[in-house]
Amino acid sequence: MTAPAKTPASRTVIETRGLTKRFQGLVSVNNVSFAIAENETLGVIGPNGAGKTTLVNMISGTLTPSEGEVIFDGARINDVPAFRRAHLGIARTFQVMKPFPGMTVLENVAVGALFGRDGGVKSMAQARESAREWLEFTGLGKRIGVGADSLGGPDRKRLEFAKALAMKPRLLLLDEVMAGLNPVEVDEVVDLIKSIRGQGLAMLVIEHVVKAIRSLSDRVMVLHHGEKIADDDPTTVLEDPRVIEAYLGKRRT
Ligand SMILES: Nc1ncnc2c1ncn2[C@@H]1O[C@H](COP(=O)(O)OP(=O)(O)O)[C@@H](O)[C@H]1O
Ligand SMILES: [Mg+2]
């Protein structure tokens, strides 16, 4: 298999410089700098507590960095609130999904469509239409009318995914969308993610399933105790003795 062709002129969508987050003096993310270009997928791996979700929170705007910069489309967005970052085209999934209570699956995703890029779609009818399409796409087409809080684990992941896609993102941040899925479901989600690549979309995919990361990522970044210890093509990173030591050792079988 050959690597996907990349034009040298690929534009950077998201960049961090020296990004750091401290909680009560403990460093969760330590001086992390990286970039993702248009049409590029960055896989992010690392043990639990490595700082992966904290990194996503600083990019999506739910946490303020202690130090460093978040740069989107060439502009510093440290002080831009989360809802405006959504308008800019930054969408994320939550690791632990809390659907809006009392709302149907369709309504949950319609909210994504209404608050997405460029302020979202302009009418509820359009939002519902868009929601319906993305729910079909993620395999939830038959469940649009049920209460979102009645969904089981894998379907909640699909809902999260549909909601993020309905925002028409330029940067999609996926935080462990495959956790708890069986191998067949993992393959389905991998295919879904592959099918949305292109059209300028930049993706950051946090995942523990190494096979999925290998097949999805143009590059893989490894976080360990909040620090970036590797950032290279998937084969190089997944064969790196330091990465195996820090993370992969028990997972290789
Ligand atoms: N809101 C918070 N307050 C205090 N500590 C936090 C908070 N969020 C994350 N942490 C700490 O930051 C570290 C990194 O957590 P996290 O980013 O969730 O890791 P990962 O997603 O890689 O498992 C952990 O030690 C965690 O306990
Ligand atoms: Mg996490």
Return the amino acid letter for 74: G
Residue 49: CB within 6 Å of ligand 1? yes
For residue 29, report the distance from its CA to the centre of ligand 1, in Å.
9
Q: What is the pLDDT of residue 128?
A: 95
Q: What is the largest CA-CA distance in the chain?
A: 53
1-86+170-253: CATH superfamily = P-loop containing nucleotide triphosphate hydrolases (3.40.50.300)
Q: What is the pLDDT of residue 25?
A: 86
Residue 173: CB within 6 Å of ligand 1? no
pLDDT tens digits for 37-68? 999 999 999 999 999 999 999 999 999 999 99
Q: What is the pLDDT of residue 7?
A: 52
The residues placing their C-beta within 5 Å of ligand 2, an ion, are 52-53
Atom of ligand 1 nearest to the CA of 46: 22
For residue 87, report the distance from its CA to the centre of ligand 2, in Å.
24
Residue 39: CB within 6 Å of ligand 1? no
Q: Which residue has the tokens 């970039």?
A: 35
Backbone angles phi, psi at 85, to 5 degrees: -65, -35
For residue 46, report the distance from its CA to the centre of ligand 2, in Å.
9
Q: What is the pLDDT of residue 116?
A: 87
For residue 5, report the distance from its CA to the centre of ligand 1, in Å.
36
Ligand with an atom nearest the CA of residue 44:
1
Dist. CA 170–CA 117, nearest whole Å: 8
Residue 48: CB within 6 Å of ligand 1? yes
Q: What is the pLDDT of residue 64?
A: 96
For residue 175, report the distance from its CA to the centre of ligand 2, in Å.
7
Which of 53, 59, 221, 227 should be mutated for ligand 1, with most atoms under 8 A from CB? 53
Q: What is the pLDDT of residue 8?
A: 54
Residue-range domain boundaries for the chain = 1-86+170-253, 90-168
- Show the tokens assigned to 36: 């993702």
Low-confidence ranges of the chain (pLDDT < 70): 1-9, 249-253
Residue 23: CB within 6 Å of ligand 1? yes
For the entire predicted model, the pTM comes to 0.91
Residue 54: CB within 6 Å of ligand 1? yes
Residue 30: CB within 6 Å of ligand 1? no
SS (H, E, C) the chain: CCCCCCCCCCCEEEEEEEEEEEECCEEEEEEEEEEEECCCEEEEECCCCCCHHHHHHHHHCCCCCCEEEEEECCEECCCCCHHHHHHHCEEECCCCCCCCCCCEHHHHHHHHHHCCHHHCCCCHHHHHHHHHHHHHHCCCHHHCCCEHHHCCHHHHHHHHHHHHHHCCCCEEEEECCCCCCCHHHHHHHHHHHHHCCCCCCEEEEECCCHHHHHHHCCEEEEEECCEEEEEECHHHHHCCHHHHHHHHHHHCC
